[in-house]
Structure 1
Amino acid sequence: MPEPWGRQDGESERAFAAFLAYRDLGAERTVCDAYRQSAGKPEAKQAPGTWNKWAKDRRWKERALAWDRHLLGKEAAGAGRVAEQDGEKWAGRRKVALDHAFEAAERLLLRAYELSAFPVERVTNDGGKVTVEPIGAHELRAATATATAAFELMMSVIDRALPPEEILPDGFDPATETDPVRLRAFLESGGRRVG
C-alpha cells in the first residue's frame, strides 16, 4: 500500500498531479490556491468541480497532513543527528581545552616551586665572580601568587571535567588534593580509581 502522500491505487495521473500541487503548498494550502498555481490562473475565484471532487474523494487534506508530519519527522531526525555530531565535536574540543588548561596549571605550579625553593637565594656567575644574594619579598609574593593561580586553575579544570554528582573513589577529593600527579591521573582516568 502506498504512503498516503504518494499516488493511490486508481488515482489518475492528472488527479495525482493536482494533489501534488495542493500538497506542496504547505500548511496554508487550499484547493483553489493549488488550482491557481497549477493552471497558471491567478485570478481564478474557485477550483473546478473536478478538483474539488478529487480533493474530497481522495482525502487530500488528510494525505497532505500526513505529508507534513512526514517532513517534520525527517527534519527532527536530521536535526537530532546534527546536534549529536555537534555535541561530540564540542565534547572533544572541551576535553582538549581542559587538558591544555591543566597542563598550563602544572607548569605554573612547577614555576612557583622553583621560585620558592630553599635556600631562598639567587646565585649568579659573572666572569668567574660568584654572587649569592637573597631572593626578595617581591619574588616570594610572585611565587605565592603563581602557586595560587595554578591551584585555582587546576581546581577550575577539575570542576568542569567532573559532573556534579560524581562519586570520588577512596575519599579522593580533587578540591583538596595537592599532588599534581594524582590530579592528572584522576582526570586521565575519567574519574575512576586513582592508584
Structure 2
Amino acid sequence: MAIKVPKGSGSKLGRTETVSIRLDPRLNYLCELAARSQRRTKSSFIESMLAEQIQTLVINKWRDVPYGESETFGSMADVLWHVRESQRLVSLALVAPELMTFEEQHVWSLIEENGYFWLGRWEKEKWKYSIGLNKIIRERVDEYWNDILAVAAGEKNTESLPVISQKSAKPEPEEPQDIDSEIPF
C-alpha cells in the first residue's frame, strides 16, 4: 500500500511541519536579502541555516565529557530521531537527559526504574539491570507506551505497568548466548 504524502505549495518535497517565527524588522530584511543572494525563498534559506547549525551544535555542552568526545545534533541524528515518540524519548534520555522537559523526565523515570524494560540477569532472586542505549528493550517500551503515559499523567496507577518477578517470564539475558558454547550439566 502506497502512503500519500501531501505536497507543500510550490515545493517538490512533502512538508509535515510548519513553524512560525518572529524576527525583528532588521533581521527579517537581512534574511530576505541573504535568501535572494542564494536565489532561495526565505523559508528555504532559514531551513538550510538550521540544518547547518544542527550539524555543528554540540549536544552535551553543559556536561563534562572528555575533550574531543562531544557529539553534535547532526552526528547523533540517526540515534535521536525516530518516527515513534516513545523511541525519541528513550534516545533523548540516554543521549542528552539534560535537554528533557519536566514532563519527559517524569515519563522517563517510569521507564528507567522498571526492570521490565531493560536487559539484565537474575542475581540471588533479584533482577539486576543496567541502563544504556543497547540495554533497553525498545519493543516493550512501545508495547506499554500508552500505559506509561497514562501513569505519568495520573490517569492510571503504577500497578498497570508490568513488573519483573521470578514467576513472570524471564527477560532476555544481558549477553546473547553463543549456541556453540558448552552448557554445564
- TM-score class, shorter: under 0.3
Higher helix proportion (structure 1 or 2): 1
From the CA coordinates, give the structure whose radius of gyration is larger. Answer: 1
> TM-score, normalised to structure 1's length?
0.21
> TM-score, normalised to structure 2's length?
0.22
